[in-house]
Amino acid sequence: MTDPSVKIIFLGGLGEVGRNCACIEVNGRLIMVDCGVLFPELDMLGIDLVLPDFSFVRENAHRLDGLVLTHGHEDHIGAIAYLLRNVDSLDIYGSPLAIEFARGRVVEHGLAGKANFIAVSDNEIRDLGSVQVEFIPVTHSVPEAFALAIHTPLGVILHTGDFKIDHTPVDGRKTNLARIGEIANTVGVKLLLSDSTKAEEPGFSDSESSIKQSLGDVITQHPGRVIAASFASHIHRIQQLADVAVDSGRYIAVLGRSMKRNISIARQLGALKIPEDRLIDIEQTEGLRPREVLVVSTGSQGEPMSALSLMAAGENRWITLYEDDLVLLSSHAVPGNETAVGRVIDKLMRKGVRVVHSAIAKVHVSGHGRQGDLSTMMSVARPQNMIPVHGEYRHMWHNADLAMRMGLPKSNVLICQDGDVVELTDSTIAVVDKVPAGYTYVDGTVGDVVEEVIRDRQVLAEEGLVVLVLTVDAKSGKILYGPEIVTKGWIHAPEAEELLDEARQAVAAALEGIETEGVYDPEIFRRRARRALGKFVAERTRRRPMIVPVVTEV
């Protein structure tokens, strides 16, 4: 019998916090771990989402035995609806909550017929053909998160998922370190894939329940209405807010589409417990005294159309803010969102609203483990090899460094990147191949947008647009009209008149005599006109707007 072949193909999440996605290949069969989105950065103009490149999956769909989900965050489940377009059907395994969070989007896209959702329970082992996958509970900022023990013929690949080691979790469901230790002591952990998000930070992450006191103080001590914003998937945080509200005689109203949806799903599954008589519609808050109201809202990341941003702008149809309101941001701005969040806070404060956020009170803790959590995981799992996942390069570097400081030889720790194909043998680990793993952009309902489109938008945004209009006689090549120049966002109008005149002359001069050269070709017209105008614009204004020559033949 030939030696077993085990490969890990990274399709996303290595070098960015987002679009987490990998395939594990065992003896020619594949399973996929997570399928998430990346939220666009500021310079990705007009882009709604960034996806993994699914071309590897598309080409190998016939070998795919299922998708397993570590947990229900968008950076792990948000791209499933797009993945399904590339396969005929797919078994998708995850916790009940992750499954229900994922199902909503898939149904919205009309792809429910392709997905076979399979809810698994804590510590369950599922046979996916070439591998057995064990779903091990871990603590994180969404309930029912899993680490995955993927049992292969070469030993266990342990994927931590996103985790911290919370000894006093809100729902009492702890990271099952005992089981991980048992695996380490029996079959052994061949390879650890470990969350790197907070690997730069020493110490341990605080327990989610450690902020209960502080949340309680802020809410109970405020004599008026409280509006609390948080991630819509952070069910434990919502539970804590609701508990404080109930204890202090407040009713809970919910604002924002995703918040409403997730709260409803979590309550149905029993992952969130709010007494029926304490949950009211937003309209009902009108009849209550302000100190009897807690509104739980979306918008903790400063998202422009969210309930909180609309409130800050005075445009929320349900809530008008008054000076005696308090807004509690029980969250931390995700990198890239700091400016937007700061702006929302400023707007709220200009209205005289009191704002409490994580910089001034302990109203947020991270769901990702710091070095203490990561090293605890490593000392329990005692892996033979380690690859950091889930993070920017610097996060992965620190996670790798930690593994080596804990005694793993350098040859057994790999820092990989998206697209790397890693091969495991009994004694070695190495990158052996590459697959496409670039960004796939989603722009509205339109499919893929290429890099070039984004570059064009950046030029348009930063430098503006200059359009050159020419009408040419198709037979003689004689210019019948133009050159005329129309600009947007290039230079300000008053100074522009003269400059535009000169630009027209420069183009006309460049085109002079072109019809007598006997080489009439609209492409030559276009190229020559564009070059002349580009040169003029660059020399005179030191700018590089997008230049679009429009040559019409009659």
Residue closer to Zn ion (CB basis): 369 or 483: 369
Query: Smallest gap, in angstroms, from Cβ of residue 145 to Zn ion?
Result: 7
Query: Smallest gap, in angstroms, from Cβ of residue 161 to Zn ion?
Result: 8
d(Cα 59, Cα 435) in Å, to the nearest integer?
Answer: 11
Query: Smallest gap, in angstroms, from Cβ of residue 283 to Zn ion?
Result: 34
Query: Smallest gap, in angstroms, from Cβ of residue 531 to Zn ion?
Result: 48
Residue closer to Zn ion (CB basis): 369 or 545: 369
- Verify cis geometry, omega within 30 degrees of 0, for the bond prior to 383: no
Q: Which stretch binds Zn ion (CB under 5 A): 69-77, 173-181, 279-287, 370-378?
A: 69-77
- Residue 162 is a binding residue for Zn ion (CB under 5 A): yes
Two structure tokens written together for 359: 């910089």
d(Cα 316, Cα 321) in Å, to the nearest integer?
Answer: 9
Q: Which stretch binds Zn ion (CB under 5 A): 154-162, 266-274, 459-467, 519-527?
A: 154-162
Options 166, 195, 325, 443, the catalytic residue: 195
Q: What are the distances in angstroms from CA 377 to CA 139, 163, 249, 374, 380?
A: 12, 10, 41, 5, 5
In contact, 81 and 56? CB cutoff 8 Å: no
- Residue 74 is a binding residue for Zn ion (CB under 5 A): no
Query: Smallest gap, in angstroms, from Cβ of residue 376 to Zn ion?
Result: 19
E strand residue ranges, 99-183: 115-119, 125-127, 132-138, 145-152, 155-159
Main-chain dihedrals φ then ψ at residue 197, nearest 5 degrees? -45, -45
Q: Which stretch binds Zn ion (CB under 5 A): 26-34, 74-82, 114-122, 242-250?
A: 74-82
Residue closer to Zn ion (CB basis): 105 or 343: 105
Is residue 277 part of the annotated active site? The answer reads no
Binding positions for Zn ion, 75-104, rule CB under 5 A:
75
Is residue 73 part of the annotated active site? The answer reads no
Place of tokens 């989610």: 208
Residue closer to Zn ion (CB basis): 20 or 130: 20
Binding positions for Zn ion, 267-306, rule CB under 5 A:
none
Q: DSSP string spanning 318-387?
A: S----TT-EEEE-S-PPTT-HHHHHHHHHHHHHTT-EEE-TTTSS----SS--HHHHHHHHHHH--SEEE
E strand residue ranges, 361-478: 385-389, 420-424, 429-434, 440-443, 446-449, 465-472
Residue closer to Zn ion (CB basis): 75 or 443: 75
In contact, 487 and 466? CB cutoff 8 Å: yes
Query: Smallest gap, in angstroms, from Cβ of residue 313 to Zn ion?
Result: 30
- Write 126-130 long-range contacts (CB < 8 A, 24+): 126/68, 126/93, 128/31, 128/65, 128/66, 128/68, 128/91, 128/93, 129/29, 129/65, 130/26, 130/27, 130/28, 130/29, 130/31, 130/65
Main-chain dihedrals φ then ψ at residue 405, nearest 5 degrees? -65, -25
Residue closer to Zn ion (CB basis): 75 or 144: 75
- Residue 73 is a binding residue for Zn ion (CB under 5 A): yes
Query: Smallest gap, in angstroms, from Cβ of residue 50 to Zn ion?
Result: 14
- Residue 198 is a binding residue for Zn ion (CB under 5 A): no
Residue closer to Zn ion (CB basis): 65 or 162: 162
Q: Which stretch binds Zn ion (CB under 5 A): 45-53, 161-169, 246-254, 346-354?
A: 161-169
Size of the site for Zn ion (CB under 5 A): 3
d(Cα 373, Cα 303) in Å, to the nearest integer?
Answer: 31
* Identity of the amino acid at 201: E
Q: Which stretch binds Zn ion (CB under 5 A): 66-74, 89-97, 280-288, 488-496?
A: 66-74
Options 236, 368, 390, 395, the catalytic residue: 368
Tell me the catalytic residues: 195, 368
User: Contact residues for Zn ion (CB under 5 A)?
Assistant: 73, 75, 162
